[in-house]
Amino acid sequence: MSADDARLALAAEALSPIDGRYRLSDPELFEQVSAFLSEEAFVRYLLRVEVALTRALSRRGLCDQSVADEIADAAQRVTPQAVWKEEQVTQHNIRALVNVLQREVSERARPIVHLTASSYDAMDTARALQFQDSAREVVVPALKELAAVWIEIARREAGTIQAGRTHGQHAVPITFGFALAGHVSRLGEPIEALERRAGRLVGKMSGAVGAYNAGSLFFDDPVAFEAEALAELGLKAADHSTQIVPAEYLLDYLHTAVSALGVLASAADDIRHLQRTEIAEVGEAFDERQVGSSTMPHKRNPWNFEHVKSLWKTFMPRMATVYMDQLSEHQRDLTNSASGRFYGEIVFGLAAAARRMTRVCKRLVVDRERMRKNFELTRETVIAEPLYILLAAAGHPDAHEAVRTLTLRAERERSTVRALLAEDAQLRPYLERLSPQQRRVLEDPSLYVGRAKERALAVCELWSVRLGLAGAGR
Protein backbone atom coordinates (compact mmCIF):
# COMPACT_ATOMS: atom_id res chain seq x y z
CA MET A 1 0.00 0.00 0.00
CA SER A 2 1.41 3.38 -1.00
CA ALA A 3 1.66 6.47 1.17
CA ASP A 4 -1.31 7.90 -0.72
CA ASP A 5 -3.26 4.77 0.08
CA ALA A 6 -2.28 5.14 3.73
CA ARG A 7 -3.71 8.65 3.74
CA LEU A 8 -6.82 7.26 2.04
CA ALA A 9 -7.04 4.73 4.84
CA LEU A 10 -7.04 7.53 7.37
CA ALA A 11 -9.79 9.29 5.45
CA ALA A 12 -11.72 6.06 5.14
CA GLU A 13 -11.60 5.59 8.89
CA ALA A 14 -13.16 9.01 9.33
CA LEU A 15 -15.96 8.35 6.83
CA SER A 16 -16.23 4.59 6.29
CA PRO A 17 -18.56 2.92 5.62
CA ILE A 18 -20.34 4.94 2.92
CA ASP A 19 -20.17 8.49 4.26
CA GLY A 20 -20.32 10.58 7.37
CA ARG A 21 -24.08 11.13 7.09
CA TYR A 22 -24.59 7.73 8.70
CA ARG A 23 -22.92 8.98 11.85
CA LEU A 24 -26.03 11.14 12.18
CA SER A 25 -28.78 9.05 10.60
CA ASP A 26 -27.88 5.76 12.28
CA PRO A 27 -24.91 6.30 14.61
CA GLU A 28 -25.50 3.00 16.40
CA LEU A 29 -25.22 1.01 13.19
CA PHE A 30 -22.22 3.06 12.09
CA GLU A 31 -20.38 2.16 15.27
CA GLN A 32 -21.41 -1.49 15.09
CA VAL A 33 -20.23 -1.98 11.53
CA SER A 34 -17.10 0.11 11.98
CA ALA A 35 -16.07 -2.18 14.84
CA PHE A 36 -15.72 -4.97 12.27
CA LEU A 37 -15.23 -3.47 8.82
CA SER A 38 -13.42 -0.15 9.17
CA GLU A 39 -9.76 0.35 8.30
CA GLU A 40 -8.94 0.52 11.99
CA ALA A 41 -10.76 -2.75 12.63
CA PHE A 42 -8.84 -4.41 9.80
CA VAL A 43 -5.52 -3.59 11.48
CA ARG A 44 -6.77 -5.11 14.70
CA TYR A 45 -7.86 -8.26 12.90
CA LEU A 46 -4.42 -8.48 11.28
CA LEU A 47 -2.88 -8.35 14.73
CA ARG A 48 -5.15 -11.18 15.87
CA VAL A 49 -3.87 -13.29 12.99
CA GLU A 50 -0.25 -12.57 13.88
CA VAL A 51 -0.92 -13.55 17.50
CA ALA A 52 -2.60 -16.80 16.43
CA LEU A 53 0.40 -17.59 14.23
CA THR A 54 2.88 -17.14 17.07
CA ARG A 55 0.79 -19.33 19.38
CA ALA A 56 0.86 -22.09 16.77
CA LEU A 57 4.61 -21.61 16.33
CA SER A 58 5.15 -21.95 20.08
CA ARG A 59 3.25 -25.23 20.15
CA ARG A 60 5.54 -26.50 17.41
CA GLY A 61 8.62 -25.54 19.44
CA LEU A 62 9.86 -22.63 17.34
CA CYS A 63 9.54 -20.34 20.36
CA ASP A 64 8.63 -20.50 24.03
CA GLN A 65 5.06 -19.95 25.16
CA SER A 66 6.32 -16.87 26.94
CA VAL A 67 7.35 -15.39 23.59
CA ALA A 68 3.89 -15.98 22.16
CA ASP A 69 2.38 -14.37 25.26
CA GLU A 70 4.71 -11.39 24.91
CA ILE A 71 3.69 -10.87 21.28
CA ALA A 72 0.01 -11.16 22.24
CA ASP A 73 0.48 -8.48 24.93
CA ALA A 74 2.36 -6.23 22.52
CA ALA A 75 -0.40 -6.53 19.91
CA GLN A 76 -2.75 -4.88 22.39
CA ARG A 77 -0.50 -1.82 22.44
CA VAL A 78 -0.14 -1.41 18.67
CA THR A 79 -2.38 1.29 17.23
CA PRO A 80 -3.64 1.51 13.66
CA GLN A 81 -2.30 5.05 13.51
CA ALA A 82 1.22 3.82 14.26
CA VAL A 83 0.92 1.21 11.53
CA TRP A 84 -0.35 3.73 8.98
CA LYS A 85 2.49 6.09 9.85
CA GLU A 86 5.05 3.31 9.37
CA GLU A 87 3.44 2.40 6.08
CA GLN A 88 4.37 5.78 4.68
CA VAL A 89 7.97 4.65 5.11
CA THR A 90 7.73 1.00 4.03
CA GLN A 91 5.14 1.48 1.30
CA HIS A 92 3.81 -1.93 2.40
CA ASN A 93 0.99 -2.37 4.87
CA ILE A 94 1.91 -5.77 6.34
CA ARG A 95 5.61 -4.99 6.62
CA ALA A 96 4.60 -1.80 8.43
CA LEU A 97 2.44 -3.77 10.85
CA VAL A 98 5.25 -6.27 11.47
CA ASN A 99 7.77 -3.51 12.06
CA VAL A 100 5.57 -1.73 14.60
CA LEU A 101 4.78 -4.99 16.39
CA GLN A 102 8.45 -5.97 16.53
CA ARG A 103 9.30 -2.67 18.19
CA GLU A 104 6.93 -3.52 21.00
CA VAL A 105 8.62 -6.84 21.89
CA SER A 106 11.97 -8.02 23.19
CA GLU A 107 14.87 -8.92 20.93
CA ARG A 108 14.29 -12.65 21.37
CA ALA A 109 10.63 -12.29 20.28
CA ARG A 110 11.19 -10.15 17.19
CA PRO A 111 12.22 -12.95 14.80
CA ILE A 112 9.03 -14.88 15.57
CA VAL A 113 6.69 -12.11 14.42
CA HIS A 114 5.19 -13.11 11.04
CA LEU A 115 7.56 -16.10 10.74
CA THR A 116 6.60 -18.41 7.81
CA ALA A 117 3.70 -16.14 6.79
CA SER A 118 3.10 -14.04 3.69
CA SER A 119 1.16 -10.79 3.53
CA TYR A 120 -2.00 -12.43 2.29
CA ASP A 121 -1.84 -15.17 4.86
CA ALA A 122 -2.56 -12.33 7.26
CA MET A 123 -4.82 -10.23 5.04
CA ASP A 124 -7.17 -12.87 3.64
CA THR A 125 -7.46 -14.54 7.02
CA ALA A 126 -8.23 -11.21 8.69
CA ARG A 127 -10.78 -10.43 6.02
CA ALA A 128 -12.56 -13.74 6.59
CA LEU A 129 -12.79 -12.92 10.29
CA GLN A 130 -14.13 -9.44 9.55
CA PHE A 131 -16.99 -10.69 7.43
CA GLN A 132 -17.77 -13.62 9.69
CA ASP A 133 -18.00 -11.46 12.78
CA SER A 134 -19.98 -8.67 11.11
CA ALA A 135 -22.43 -11.25 9.73
CA ARG A 136 -22.93 -12.87 13.12
CA GLU A 137 -23.09 -9.70 15.20
CA VAL A 138 -24.73 -7.15 12.89
CA VAL A 139 -26.10 -8.27 9.54
CA VAL A 140 -27.95 -11.48 10.37
CA PRO A 141 -29.47 -10.09 13.61
CA ALA A 142 -30.71 -7.02 11.70
CA LEU A 143 -32.32 -9.18 9.04
CA LYS A 144 -33.88 -11.51 11.60
CA GLU A 145 -35.36 -8.56 13.45
CA LEU A 146 -36.95 -7.38 10.20
CA ALA A 147 -38.25 -10.87 9.48
CA ALA A 148 -39.82 -10.96 12.93
CA VAL A 149 -41.59 -7.64 12.29
CA TRP A 150 -42.90 -8.85 8.94
CA ILE A 151 -44.07 -12.10 10.52
CA GLU A 152 -45.94 -10.19 13.20
CA ILE A 153 -47.77 -8.08 10.61
CA ALA A 154 -48.42 -11.03 8.31
CA ARG A 155 -49.96 -13.04 11.13
CA ARG A 156 -52.10 -10.12 12.23
CA GLU A 157 -53.30 -9.42 8.68
CA ALA A 158 -53.51 -13.02 7.52
CA GLY A 159 -57.24 -12.70 6.91
CA THR A 160 -57.35 -9.08 5.71
CA ILE A 161 -58.74 -9.18 2.18
CA GLN A 162 -56.80 -7.32 -0.48
CA ALA A 163 -57.03 -7.13 -4.24
CA GLY A 164 -54.31 -9.25 -5.79
CA ARG A 165 -52.37 -7.34 -8.41
CA THR A 166 -50.61 -8.52 -11.55
CA HIS A 167 -49.27 -6.17 -14.23
CA GLY A 168 -50.57 -3.26 -12.14
CA GLN A 169 -54.15 -4.52 -12.54
CA HIS A 170 -56.52 -6.05 -10.03
CA ALA A 171 -56.38 -9.82 -10.14
CA VAL A 172 -58.18 -12.35 -7.94
CA PRO A 173 -58.15 -11.48 -4.23
CA ILE A 174 -55.57 -12.44 -1.65
CA THR A 175 -54.98 -11.24 1.89
CA PHE A 176 -52.43 -8.65 2.95
CA GLY A 177 -50.89 -11.18 5.30
CA PHE A 178 -50.37 -13.53 2.38
CA ALA A 179 -48.64 -10.78 0.39
CA LEU A 180 -46.28 -9.97 3.25
CA ALA A 181 -45.63 -13.65 3.96
CA GLY A 182 -44.17 -13.84 0.47
CA HIS A 183 -41.51 -11.34 1.47
CA VAL A 184 -40.89 -13.30 4.68
CA SER A 185 -40.22 -16.42 2.64
CA ARG A 186 -38.00 -14.62 0.15
CA LEU A 187 -35.94 -13.08 2.96
CA GLY A 188 -35.66 -16.27 4.99
CA GLU A 189 -33.63 -18.10 2.36
CA PRO A 190 -30.83 -15.50 2.08
CA ILE A 191 -30.69 -15.09 5.85
CA GLU A 192 -29.94 -18.79 6.18
CA ALA A 193 -27.52 -18.61 3.26
CA LEU A 194 -25.69 -15.63 4.80
CA GLU A 195 -25.19 -17.56 8.03
CA ARG A 196 -24.01 -20.59 6.13
CA ARG A 197 -21.68 -18.76 3.75
CA ALA A 198 -20.22 -16.54 6.46
CA GLY A 199 -19.43 -19.71 8.39
CA ARG A 200 -17.65 -21.15 5.34
CA LEU A 201 -15.28 -18.20 4.84
CA VAL A 202 -11.72 -19.48 4.96
CA GLY A 203 -8.25 -18.29 5.84
CA LYS A 204 -4.80 -19.42 4.81
CA MET A 205 -1.31 -19.88 6.20
CA SER A 206 0.30 -21.45 3.15
CA GLY A 207 2.78 -18.82 2.08
CA ALA A 208 3.54 -16.64 -0.90
CA VAL A 209 2.16 -18.95 -3.61
CA GLY A 210 0.12 -21.32 -1.46
CA ALA A 211 2.54 -24.27 -1.72
CA TYR A 212 3.72 -24.13 1.92
CA ASN A 213 7.26 -23.26 0.80
CA ALA A 214 8.21 -21.43 3.99
CA GLY A 215 6.37 -23.72 6.34
CA SER A 216 8.03 -26.80 4.88
CA LEU A 217 11.40 -25.46 6.07
CA PHE A 218 10.28 -26.16 9.63
CA PHE A 219 7.47 -28.71 9.56
CA ASP A 220 7.00 -32.08 7.96
CA ASP A 221 3.27 -31.34 7.92
CA PRO A 222 2.85 -27.64 7.05
CA VAL A 223 -0.75 -28.28 6.01
CA ALA A 224 -1.53 -29.49 9.52
CA PHE A 225 0.30 -26.45 10.91
CA GLU A 226 -1.92 -24.19 8.80
CA ALA A 227 -4.97 -25.89 10.26
CA GLU A 228 -3.62 -25.40 13.80
CA ALA A 229 -2.94 -21.70 13.28
CA LEU A 230 -6.37 -21.07 11.76
CA ALA A 231 -8.09 -23.09 14.47
CA GLU A 232 -6.83 -20.46 16.93
CA LEU A 233 -9.15 -18.09 15.10
CA GLY A 234 -12.05 -20.46 14.55
CA LEU A 235 -11.37 -20.71 10.82
CA LYS A 236 -10.64 -23.47 8.37
CA ALA A 237 -8.39 -23.44 5.32
CA ALA A 238 -9.49 -23.89 1.74
CA ASP A 239 -8.53 -27.14 0.05
CA HIS A 240 -6.19 -25.11 -2.16
CA SER A 241 -4.96 -21.54 -2.05
CA THR A 242 -2.43 -19.59 -4.03
CA GLN A 243 -1.08 -16.37 -2.54
CA ILE A 244 -4.74 -15.66 -1.88
CA VAL A 245 -7.72 -17.74 -0.81
CA PRO A 246 -10.13 -18.70 -3.59
CA ALA A 247 -12.31 -15.72 -4.41
CA GLU A 248 -15.53 -17.71 -4.52
CA TYR A 249 -16.00 -17.98 -0.76
CA LEU A 250 -16.32 -14.23 -0.22
CA LEU A 251 -17.93 -13.69 -3.61
CA ASP A 252 -20.77 -16.08 -2.73
CA TYR A 253 -21.26 -14.37 0.63
CA LEU A 254 -21.46 -10.91 -0.95
CA HIS A 255 -23.73 -12.20 -3.72
CA THR A 256 -26.12 -13.45 -1.05
CA ALA A 257 -25.94 -10.09 0.73
CA VAL A 258 -26.94 -8.30 -2.48
CA SER A 259 -29.68 -10.87 -3.07
CA ALA A 260 -31.08 -10.15 0.40
CA LEU A 261 -30.87 -6.43 -0.32
CA GLY A 262 -32.91 -7.05 -3.46
CA VAL A 263 -35.64 -8.70 -1.38
CA LEU A 264 -35.76 -5.63 0.83
CA ALA A 265 -35.94 -3.34 -2.21
CA SER A 266 -38.76 -5.38 -3.71
CA ALA A 267 -40.76 -5.26 -0.48
CA ALA A 268 -40.07 -1.54 -0.12
CA ASP A 269 -41.29 -0.96 -3.66
CA ASP A 270 -44.52 -2.87 -3.04
CA ILE A 271 -45.25 -1.07 0.21
CA ARG A 272 -44.39 2.29 -1.35
CA HIS A 273 -46.89 1.72 -4.16
CA LEU A 274 -49.59 0.74 -1.67
CA GLN A 275 -49.20 4.27 -0.25
CA ARG A 276 -50.14 5.96 -3.52
CA THR A 277 -53.01 8.42 -3.09
CA GLU A 278 -55.34 6.39 -5.27
CA ILE A 279 -54.50 3.15 -3.39
CA ALA A 280 -53.76 4.30 0.18
CA GLU A 281 -53.93 0.85 1.75
CA VAL A 282 -50.99 1.31 4.10
CA GLY A 283 -49.09 4.24 5.47
CA GLU A 284 -46.14 5.16 7.62
CA ALA A 285 -47.14 6.68 10.93
CA PHE A 286 -45.74 10.22 10.96
CA ASP A 287 -44.46 12.01 14.03
CA GLU A 288 -46.28 15.17 14.97
CA ARG A 289 -43.45 17.40 13.74
CA GLN A 290 -42.32 15.26 10.80
CA VAL A 291 -42.30 17.00 7.42
CA GLY A 292 -43.37 15.17 4.26
CA SER A 293 -42.64 17.86 1.68
CA SER A 294 -40.71 21.11 1.74
CA THR A 295 -43.48 22.95 -0.12
CA MET A 296 -46.65 20.85 0.27
CA PRO A 297 -47.46 20.58 3.99
CA HIS A 298 -50.20 18.00 3.44
CA LYS A 299 -47.93 15.37 1.89
CA ARG A 300 -46.60 12.25 3.59
CA ASN A 301 -43.99 10.93 1.22
CA PRO A 302 -42.94 7.27 1.63
CA TRP A 303 -39.32 8.33 1.56
CA ASN A 304 -38.04 5.65 3.93
CA PHE A 305 -39.13 2.90 1.55
CA GLU A 306 -37.68 4.86 -1.35
CA HIS A 307 -34.43 5.15 0.58
CA VAL A 308 -34.23 1.36 0.90
CA LYS A 309 -34.66 1.00 -2.85
CA SER A 310 -32.00 3.66 -3.34
CA LEU A 311 -29.56 1.66 -1.21
CA TRP A 312 -30.21 -1.35 -3.45
CA LYS A 313 -29.54 0.80 -6.53
CA THR A 314 -26.27 1.88 -4.96
CA PHE A 315 -24.88 -1.50 -3.96
CA MET A 316 -26.36 -3.99 -6.40
CA PRO A 317 -24.11 -2.79 -9.27
CA ARG A 318 -21.04 -3.29 -7.08
CA MET A 319 -21.41 -7.03 -7.46
CA ALA A 320 -20.13 -6.58 -11.01
CA THR A 321 -16.83 -5.43 -9.52
CA VAL A 322 -16.76 -8.34 -7.09
CA TYR A 323 -17.22 -10.72 -10.01
CA MET A 324 -14.40 -8.99 -11.89
CA ASP A 325 -12.20 -9.44 -8.83
CA GLN A 326 -12.82 -13.18 -9.09
CA LEU A 327 -10.04 -13.21 -11.69
CA SER A 328 -6.47 -13.01 -10.41
CA GLU A 329 -3.56 -13.81 -12.72
CA HIS A 330 -1.66 -17.03 -11.94
CA GLN A 331 -0.93 -17.12 -8.21
CA ARG A 332 -1.81 -13.48 -7.56
CA ASP A 333 -2.09 -10.02 -9.03
CA LEU A 334 -3.09 -6.75 -7.41
CA THR A 335 -5.94 -5.67 -9.66
CA ASN A 336 -8.35 -5.88 -6.71
CA SER A 337 -6.12 -3.91 -4.36
CA ALA A 338 -8.40 -0.85 -4.54
CA SER A 339 -11.77 -2.38 -5.37
CA GLY A 340 -11.56 -5.06 -2.69
CA ARG A 341 -11.30 -2.45 0.04
CA PHE A 342 -14.90 -1.38 -0.56
CA TYR A 343 -16.57 -4.76 -0.09
CA GLY A 344 -17.50 -3.88 3.46
CA GLU A 345 -19.74 -1.12 2.21
CA ILE A 346 -22.00 -3.70 0.56
CA VAL A 347 -22.50 -5.29 3.97
CA PHE A 348 -23.13 -1.91 5.54
CA GLY A 349 -25.70 -1.08 2.87
CA LEU A 350 -27.61 -4.28 3.60
CA ALA A 351 -27.57 -3.69 7.35
CA ALA A 352 -28.65 -0.06 6.89
CA ALA A 353 -31.54 -1.08 4.65
CA ALA A 354 -32.65 -3.79 7.07
CA ARG A 355 -32.63 -1.49 10.07
CA ARG A 356 -34.52 1.25 8.21
CA MET A 357 -37.12 -1.24 6.99
CA THR A 358 -37.52 -2.53 10.52
CA ARG A 359 -38.04 0.93 11.96
CA VAL A 360 -40.60 1.99 9.39
CA CYS A 361 -42.47 -1.34 9.29
CA LYS A 362 -42.90 -1.23 13.05
CA ARG A 363 -44.85 1.96 12.41
CA LEU A 364 -46.77 0.68 9.40
CA VAL A 365 -50.48 1.48 9.52
CA VAL A 366 -52.74 -0.94 7.64
CA ASP A 367 -56.05 0.51 6.43
CA ARG A 368 -58.23 -2.60 6.29
CA GLU A 369 -61.31 -0.69 5.24
CA ARG A 370 -59.49 0.88 2.31
CA MET A 371 -58.20 -2.53 1.26
CA ARG A 372 -61.75 -3.85 1.21
CA LYS A 373 -63.03 -0.80 -0.71
CA ASN A 374 -60.31 -1.25 -3.32
CA PHE A 375 -61.27 -4.89 -3.63
CA GLU A 376 -64.89 -3.87 -4.03
CA LEU A 377 -63.97 -1.82 -7.10
CA THR A 378 -63.53 -5.00 -9.10
CA ARG A 379 -65.32 -7.61 -7.02
CA GLU A 380 -67.87 -8.24 -9.76
CA THR A 381 -65.16 -9.09 -12.29
CA VAL A 382 -63.30 -11.36 -9.88
CA ILE A 383 -65.76 -14.20 -10.41
CA ALA A 384 -64.69 -14.52 -14.06
CA GLU A 385 -61.87 -16.88 -13.13
CA PRO A 386 -63.76 -19.24 -10.79
CA LEU A 387 -66.77 -19.14 -13.12
CA TYR A 388 -64.73 -20.21 -16.13
CA ILE A 389 -62.98 -22.98 -14.16
CA LEU A 390 -66.21 -24.29 -12.64
CA LEU A 391 -68.03 -24.25 -15.98
CA ALA A 392 -65.18 -26.14 -17.60
CA ALA A 393 -65.19 -28.70 -14.81
CA ALA A 394 -68.97 -29.03 -15.23
CA GLY A 395 -68.47 -29.98 -18.88
CA HIS A 396 -68.89 -26.71 -20.81
CA PRO A 397 -67.05 -27.19 -24.15
CA ASP A 398 -65.69 -23.62 -24.37
CA ALA A 399 -65.99 -22.14 -20.90
CA HIS A 400 -63.25 -19.52 -21.22
CA GLU A 401 -64.76 -17.97 -24.32
CA ALA A 402 -68.26 -18.05 -22.81
CA VAL A 403 -67.10 -16.15 -19.73
CA ARG A 404 -64.96 -13.74 -21.73
CA THR A 405 -67.99 -12.86 -23.84
CA LEU A 406 -70.05 -12.43 -20.71
CA THR A 407 -67.53 -9.98 -19.22
CA LEU A 408 -67.52 -7.90 -22.40
CA ARG A 409 -71.30 -7.82 -22.41
CA ALA A 410 -71.38 -6.78 -18.74
CA GLU A 411 -68.98 -3.94 -19.49
CA ARG A 412 -70.96 -2.85 -22.53
CA GLU A 413 -74.32 -2.98 -20.77
CA ARG A 414 -72.97 -1.59 -17.52
CA SER A 415 -74.17 -4.64 -15.72
CA THR A 416 -72.37 -7.36 -13.77
CA VAL A 417 -71.30 -10.84 -14.68
CA ARG A 418 -73.41 -12.23 -11.84
CA ALA A 419 -76.53 -10.42 -13.03
CA LEU A 420 -76.12 -11.63 -16.59
CA LEU A 421 -75.28 -15.11 -15.39
CA ALA A 422 -78.62 -15.37 -13.61
CA GLU A 423 -80.38 -14.63 -16.92
CA ASP A 424 -78.31 -16.97 -19.10
CA ALA A 425 -80.36 -20.10 -19.86
CA GLN A 426 -77.52 -21.75 -21.78
CA LEU A 427 -75.21 -21.72 -18.77
CA ARG A 428 -77.86 -22.70 -16.22
CA PRO A 429 -77.49 -26.50 -16.72
CA TYR A 430 -73.80 -26.28 -15.94
CA LEU A 431 -74.36 -24.08 -12.90
CA GLU A 432 -76.83 -26.60 -11.50
CA ARG A 433 -74.01 -29.15 -11.35
CA LEU A 434 -72.00 -27.03 -8.92
CA SER A 435 -71.78 -27.78 -5.23
CA PRO A 436 -73.23 -25.32 -2.66
CA GLN A 437 -69.72 -24.28 -1.68
CA GLN A 438 -68.79 -23.56 -5.30
CA ARG A 439 -71.95 -21.51 -5.77
CA ARG A 440 -71.15 -19.46 -2.67
CA VAL A 441 -67.88 -18.34 -4.24
CA LEU A 442 -69.79 -17.06 -7.27
CA GLU A 443 -72.27 -15.28 -5.01
CA ASP A 444 -69.63 -13.72 -2.77
CA PRO A 445 -66.29 -13.07 -4.56
CA SER A 446 -64.62 -12.16 -1.25
CA LEU A 447 -64.65 -15.87 -0.47
CA TYR A 448 -62.42 -16.53 -3.47
CA VAL A 449 -59.13 -16.14 -1.58
CA GLY A 450 -58.07 -19.75 -1.82
CA ARG A 451 -55.82 -20.65 1.08
CA ALA A 452 -54.25 -17.21 1.39
CA LYS A 453 -54.84 -16.96 5.13
CA GLU A 454 -53.71 -20.49 5.84
CA ARG A 455 -50.60 -20.16 3.69
CA ALA A 456 -49.69 -16.85 5.32
CA LEU A 457 -49.84 -18.41 8.77
CA ALA A 458 -48.02 -21.55 7.65
CA VAL A 459 -45.18 -19.59 6.04
CA CYS A 460 -44.83 -17.41 9.14
CA GLU A 461 -44.68 -20.49 11.34
CA LEU A 462 -42.12 -22.15 9.08
CA TRP A 463 -39.72 -19.22 9.08
CA SER A 464 -40.26 -18.42 12.74
CA VAL A 465 -38.90 -21.87 13.50
CA ARG A 466 -36.14 -21.93 10.88
CA LEU A 467 -34.81 -18.51 11.88
CA GLY A 468 -35.17 -19.12 15.60
CA LEU A 469 -37.95 -16.56 15.94
CA ALA A 470 -40.60 -18.87 17.37
CA GLY A 471 -43.27 -16.78 19.02
CA ALA A 472 -42.77 -13.72 16.78
CA GLY A 473 -46.08 -11.94 16.43
CA ARG A 474 -47.97 -14.21 18.78
Question: 45: closest CA among 81, 75, 68, 90?
Answer: 75
CA 50/CA 44 separation, integer angstroms: 10
CA 310/CA 465 separation, integer angstroms: 31
Taking each continuous run of H as one helix and of E as one strand, the counts in the chain are 23, 6
End-to-end C-alpha distance for the chain, whole angstroms: 53
CA 32/CA 27 separation, integer angstroms: 9
Long-range interactions of 9-18: CB distance < 8 A, separation 24+: 9/39, 9/84, 10/39, 10/84, 12/38, 12/39, 12/341, 13/38, 13/39, 13/40, 13/80, 16/344, 16/345, 17/344, 17/345, 17/347, 17/348, 17/349, 18/345, 18/348, 18/349, 18/352
**Catalytic residues, which ones?**
167, 293
Residue 101 contacts residue 223 (beta carbons within 8 Å)? no
